[in-house]
Chain A
Amino acid sequence: MQVTRDFSHYVRDAGEGVQHIDLAVEGVHCAGCMAKIERGLSAIPDVTLARVNLTDRRVALEWKAGTLDPGRFIDRLEELGYKAYPFETESAEVAEVAESRFLLRCLGVAAFATMNVMMLSIPVWSGNVSDMLPEQRDFFHWLSALIALPAAAYAGQPFFRSAWRALSAKTTNMDVPISIGVILALGMSVVETIHHAEHAYFDAAIMLLTFLLVGRFLDQNMRRRTRAVAGNLAALKAETAAKFVGPDEISQVPVAAIHPGDIVLLRPGERCAVDGTVIEGRSEIDQSLITGETLYVTAEQGTPVYAGSMNISGTLRVRVSAASEATLLAEITRLLDNALQARSRYMRLADRASRLYAPVVHATALITILGWVIAGASWHDAIVTGVAVLIITCPCALGLAIPTVQTIASGAMFKSGVLLNSGDAIERLAEADHVIFDKTGTLTLPDLEVMNAADIPADIFELAGRLALSSHHPVAAAVAQAAGAKSPVVGAVEEAGQGVRAIVDGVELRLGRPSFCGAEALVGSAMVDPEASIVAFSKGSERFVLSVRQGLRPDAQAVIAALKARNVGIEILSGDREPAVKAAAHALEIPEWRAGVTPADKIARIEELKQRGAKVLMVGDGMNDAPSLAAAHVSMSPISAAHLSQATADLVFLGRPLAPVVAAIDASRKALHLMRQNLWLAIGYNVLAVPVAISGVVTPLIAAAAMSGSSILVMLNSLRARSASRETV
């Protein structure tokens, strides 16, 4: 059978006979890598562009159409020492990038206008206390209007649109008081300018927009960065399948290019990337990522298989079915939809703050106007004072209070191996007081480990490892890895479903099922571990058994202890069998655990805890965890998780240790503390400024100074989130 790699799905026509492909590259960290990759790829004839993006860890390549096979770039990068995968930009990421650019354009326009209006305002402020002629002042005011009005109309779009959406839905958000404040300030300034008045607030209005856009851009940029990382991770997982393009011709194609009805080949040791039904072959499959059950299931003709299952022993041919036909997935999807709806009801801290803030501010402005009229002032003066109150209280610092902390905290979390999927995850994670862990793949490592390597003589273990290299079986792969084997034994023969054997120096070596090696007698005595797979090794007449299982994450115990020290409730909910869950719970000293739990049961348990007022953090990786990840107050997944779970989780953590869970909780608690502090700073500042505004002595100079002063104060306070506590576990 011939296998070809087909990348045509990812190649884009860039016009003028040039083709374009984007690759996600692992391990690019510095300028050295960047230069090495760009030179290495540019050296290939007919390549017209090779440019590394260090922020997103990607390479953009262009070449003359029809001259090169994209596979060659990947091979070249492999030679240079980098693993690369073709990459397709998700539509969600495209939208984030476009939004990010739009905000940056708005920010550019607003900043330009602020600088120029300020340049005109300062002469007016100094002129008002010296010898400026009223005509000159009017001229400067008109010029300010000429700059500020179009700029505000353009740069204010993000706020006006969002405020309009909120008002149409009969709710309010932060953007409603912002929009009202800006529009009233500009409108009043125009009227004042027409009447040759002394004060106009063009500078304050446009400066407010600039500061708020900084906050908005930071918020957006964080989300864009997260999307880019998530997109790369999807590419690095390299979800491809071996599709039959002829009777015995196979092409390795990306999952996106596979359609229902296609037939794919599933070899031993491969993870299935599609849902379908087995049409030929017989094998054991590991469905732990889907059900949490660690016992292998036998697959034969007619057995349904799901994306994420690992094929263990035999080769299977699978006919691809539409995802909706699969009953398990349909059930999970239904639960997931319900849970996601519930979550969207969560109100962000910023919106909660503005819901309290807006009515108070607007009432204050109204009372100011009425108060001055009753006190005998003219309607004109009263309204001017009222608008001044609105301008000075416009939530400028409030708009910066949360995004600045979020940006800095997410950077700190990124360094400790945690990625954020949603912007408000930090607030929700900080509130969590009860953690539910899934067992398989979350508390335990997703890959297999040899548990009793220390009991086996080193030379025997190494020999077993070398022999294991000749097998595709995942258990054998674990043995080979544990032994650090490099060179396979020459002339090894694999017997499907049994094991591998070879003859070295006249002695027969066998590795495989205990019966295959004649080691049944040893198994009963030594092994009581219900989760372990037993593999036997024989050398001549010597017999050994190896116990292979998913080990606990190296620091799981320390993490559980650290969580207990933080007064967080802990429990295990697993779809796996009772003995396996009990053993893990015992090892980690977690008194509360349940085994054999279905996805619906998990949600029921979370609802029960919610009723009691607990804020649940769900940490899980399986597809069966996806609905409960969505139902929980906040959720986390390891990077090895099923695609669906990873997309649902609020946070994703990288690597083997479990420590990022604690690090993330600590960082988010600190961040929430700073966010609250910022909000109080902003409000306390307003409490000081409002009496000044109500008394009617506010000039544009005071408004401008107050606004920038409070914003800078809030930004400086946010920077404290950088020193996220280093002691984690």
Chain B
Amino acid sequence: MEILVILVPLALMLGGAGLVAFLWSLRSGQYDDLDGAAWRAIADDEPPQEAPAKR
């Protein structure tokens, strides 16, 4: 059962890291535009040089 001495603090630290990451993401405004973020994930980085002809 001595393993608890390592495992419990480890689990808490991991959980705490998650909480800190969440608070940081909140502060940096990552939840301000949820609709836009969904699209940005699949947006192309660079536009093609010439727009394709209208269908």
Chain A positions near chain B (C-beta within 8 angstroms): 30-31, 34-35, 39, 52-56, 101, 104-105, 108-109, 112, 115-116, 119-120, 136, 139, 143, 147
Contact = CB atoms under 8 A, between A and B. Distances in A.
Given A31-B42, A39-B47, A112-B19, A105 B26 contact: yes
B13 to A, nearest CB: 11
Contact of A55 (B12, B15, B16, B35): B35
Contact of B36 (A34, A105, A120): A34
Contacts of A116: 11-12, 15
A31 B26 contact: no
A23 to B, nearest CB: 15
Given A101-B26, A108-B22, A31 B12 contact: no
Contact of B1 (A101, A109, A136, A147): A136
B38 to A, nearest CB: 8
19 contacts: A31-B39, A34-B43, A39-B47, A52-B33, A54-B39, A55-B32, A55-B36, A56-B32, A56-B33, A104-B26, A104-B31, A105-B23, A112-B18, A115-B15, A116-B15, A136-B1, A136-B4, A143-B8, A147-B12
Interface in B2-55: 4, 8, 11-12, 15-16, 18-19, 22-23, 26, 31-36, 39-40, 42-44, 47
A54 B47 CA distance: 19
A108 B23 contact: yes
Contacts of B26: 101, 104-105, 108
Contacts, number: 57
Counting from the closest, the 6 A-B pairs by CB-CB distance are A54-B36, A31-B39, A112-B19, A53-B33, A54-B35, A55-B35
A220 B15 CA distance: 27
A39 B43 CA distance: 12
A120 B7 CA distance: 11
Contacts of B34: 55
A30 B15 contact: no
A546 B14 CA distance: 76
Nearest to B9: A143
Of the candidates A30, A109, A112, the one having the most CB atoms from chain B within 10 angstroms of its own CB is: A112
B54 to A, nearest CB: 14
Nearest to A31: B39
A109 B19 contact: yes
B22 to A, nearest CB: 5
Contacts of B8: 120, 143
Of the candidates B11, B19, B40, B42, the one having the most CB atoms from chain A within 10 angstroms of its own CB is: B19
Given A105-B26, A108-B22, A115-B15, 7 more contacts: A30-B39, A31-B40, A35-B43, A55-B35, A55-B36, A139-B4, A143-B8
Nearest to A58: B33
Nearest to A35: B43
A596 B19 CA distance: 63
A362 B55 CA distance: 68
Contacts of A115: 15
A108 B40 CA distance: 24
Contacts of A54: 33, 35-36, 39
A105 B32 CA distance: 14
Contact of B11 (A52, A101, A108, A119): A119
Contacts of A105: 23, 26
A136 B12 CA distance: 17
